Amino acid sequence: MTGSEAPPSFRLAYVPGVTPDKWVRIWNERLPDVPLVLTQVPAAEAAGVLLGGDADAGLVRLPVDRTALSAIPLYTETTVVLVPKDHLVTAADEVSVGDIAEEIVLHPLDDVLDWERLPGRPALERPATTADAVELVAAGIGVLLVPLSLARLHHRKDLTYRTVTDAPESSVALSWPEDAHTDRVEDFIGIVRGRTVNSTRGRQPEPVRSKGGRAEGAPSTRGKPAAGKAGGRTGGAAGGKTGGKQTGSARRGTGGSHRGASGGKGKGSGRGGRPRQR
């Protein structure tokens, strides 16, 4: 790589309300040589940014076009109504859509909630953005229903919110173009899914091989004595039975050793570990 070439990077788009900080921190710890470039985009433009190749992946709001984009749902947000602090609905901890039926409910052009039927009474004009709608709520013009993260993003001291129990909810997903599932995308999938750095899922490094072609760390079968024969003629009968039981326990995995540790029995104890008396 010449000095004029930029190092490889991973470009992540995210929509307002999403906080990718935790995942970015883990990325920087695991892949310090691959810069992660963050770009915030409006929710309505996120799909176009991904399909246009301006980002490798994105934290977006569902739904997305599944014929062109892959998506892994991450979480679903509670919907709240944003109101002035002295509004009547603040008397309750949560409300229903029916409780605000007589209110002017602002419906911004960038609304991310999928309404079958808009609640309340409509305003004369639709605000251009959620930020504009928040200003109108503060001015006493109406109320606004948004995902909880957007209410927190546009926090104001003179406003508060209450959960709306029967409103549509917004889900956030990790998305990327169907034909661009790269190794870096797989790395980020592992991070958002909580895989450890040594997880067996996802990409695995190529094993280091010895001169003989065998992967280092793999068990060798050359010269391995058969079970029950190592003890010679005098220990053959007892050793064969004991060895058979122990091998079966080993095949059962960690369960056998766990029972031994928790039950206070050492190796070879119990029916399988003690030769029968003749």
Evaluated on CA atoms 200, 202, 208, 213, the torsion sign reads: positive
Question: What is the pLDDT, as a whole number, of residue 196?
Answer: 87
CATH code given to domain 79-168: 3.40.190.10
Question: What is the pLDDT, as a whole number, of residue 141?
Answer: 96
Domain with CATH 3.40.190.10 in the chain: 10-76+171-192, 79-168
Question: What confidence tens digit (pLDDT) does each residue in 162-193 have?
Answer: 999 999 999 999 999 999 999 999 999 999 99
- Give the mean pLDDT of 53-63: 97
Res 46 pLDDT > 60: yes
Question: What is the pLDDT, as a whole number, of residue 142?
Answer: 97
Question: What confidence tens digit (pLDDT) does each residue in 259-274 have?
Answer: 444 444 444 444 444 4
CA dist 136 and 177 (Å) reads 37
- Give the mean pLDDT of 215-228: 46
- Comparing 221 with 81, the larger pLDDT belongs to 81
- Scan for tokens 């990790």, then name that residue: 174
Question: What is the pLDDT, as a whole number, of residue 220?
Answer: 46
- Give the mean pLDDT of 215-235: 45
Amino acid sitting at position 150: L
Question: What confidence tens digit (pLDDT) does each residue in 97-155 have?
Answer: 999 999 999 999 999 999 999 999 999 999 999 999 999 999 999 999 999 999 999 99
What average pLDDT does the chain have? 80
Given strand 69-77, what is the order of strands in its sheet?
36-40, 10-14, 57-61, 170-177, 69-77
What is each CA distance from 177 to 12, 50, 76, 181, in whole angstroms?
13, 6, 22, 7
CATH topology of domain 10-76+171-192: D-Maltodextrin-Binding Protein; domain 2 (3.40.190)
The token pair that represents 110 in the structure block = 């960038």
